[in-house]
Amino acid sequence: MKPHWDIFCVVVDNYGDIGVTWRLARQLQAEHDVQVRLWVDDLQPFARLCPDTDPHADQQFHHGVQVRRWPAEWEATEVADVVIGAFACKLPPPYIDAMAARARPCLWLNLEYLSAEDWVVGCHALPSLQSNRLQKFFFFPGFVPGTGGLLRESGLLAQRDALQGDREAQREFLARLGVERQPEAHLVSLFAYENAAVAEWLDAMATGLGATQLLVPEGRVLDDVRRWLGAEWLEAGDLHVRGQLTINVLPFISQDQYDRLLWCCDFNAVRGEDSFIRAQWAARPMLWHIYPQEEDAHIVKLDAWLHLYTRALSPQAADALRGLMHAWSRGEGMGLAWPVLCLHRVELRLQAEQWCANLAVQPDLAAALVQFYRNWI
């Protein structure tokens, strides 16, 4: 019989949590011959990522995955063979009681947030004995051996290479999003949280030496772009030109479409965790808007990743990228940091390609989870 997996997701940051768990659920179902239930406490954001979703249904199937509404009042249900609590979410107490009472033990995993910090390797896959005698294992995604790896579907990089090598296919894809690529323009995507640095960055692109075309899917950062333009409203399909900068507003797009958008662009500004990982698989230079935390704890995480990512760069290119990332996180300084970064475009592109190739040698997250389960039983 196929093993049953339950994945529990509390939607905290709009699309990040559900984005990761939905990709994981789909890949486990499609590539590893398991049955997956995805429990989600808020189906409205999920419906944006998966347009066929009924946000009011208690139970539905998409891509072979059973998607269940996580009710406030839990109803008894059969416990799965593998139970994943995503990002430290607390499982329903009655479900945990049922896990403890199960005749055949189940594997309980806490899927942690992604981090490049050194301590992750030492903590990955460690068990924690709970008060009810259950063991919970902490599973850390990561960038280096000794961690759980990153989400990467089978064939993803081959699909990317095919699109990046076919200018006509790129043109057709962008046209479906309402975009006509400007000749010789540097194509940039922007998906970020609200940021005071947006205006400075747009100023720098508008007054730059070369043409830039900025693609902005509908999302939280769009208000910052609107204010910079002095527009009363922005919506999908809008096009604005100021100096050397052309701005296209895109509709909110599915995960698969977003992957392809990243593949088409020369530079990608991304946020959170899900789009951050996908930008690395795009093998293009990038700007990461890491989720802000109290006492600037996010800067420690940012610097840990930059330490790994910039090791093969020249000191000048590494400083330029680090300066841009910090300016973006501080909310100021993009006007100076962006022109400096642009001096190193060729080196940064080669580095992005090599970084992606190095990551792809490691097992992907879904495969690592399945292997951990097989070793556990």
Q: Which residues are catalytic?
A: 17, 273
What's CA 115's distance to the chain center, in Å? 13
Q: What are phi and psi of 42, to 5 degrees?
A: -140, 110
Which residues pair with residue 190 across a beta bridge? 269
Q: Is 273 in contact with 18 (CB distance < 8 Å)?
A: no
Nearest to 21 by CA among 141, 104, 129, 121: 141
Residue 146, C-beta contacts closer than 8 angstroms, at least 6 positions apart: 121, 124
3-state secondary structure of 83: strand
Pairing of strands 267-271, 286-289: parallel
Which helix (H) or strand (E) is 59 found in, with range? strand 59-62
Question: Rounded to an integer, what distance in angstroms lies between the CA atom of residue 87 and that of residue 113?
Answer: 6
Q: What are phi and psi of 269, to 5 degrees?
A: -100, 120
Nearest to 369 by CA among 114, 147, 39, 116: 147
Residue type, 129: L
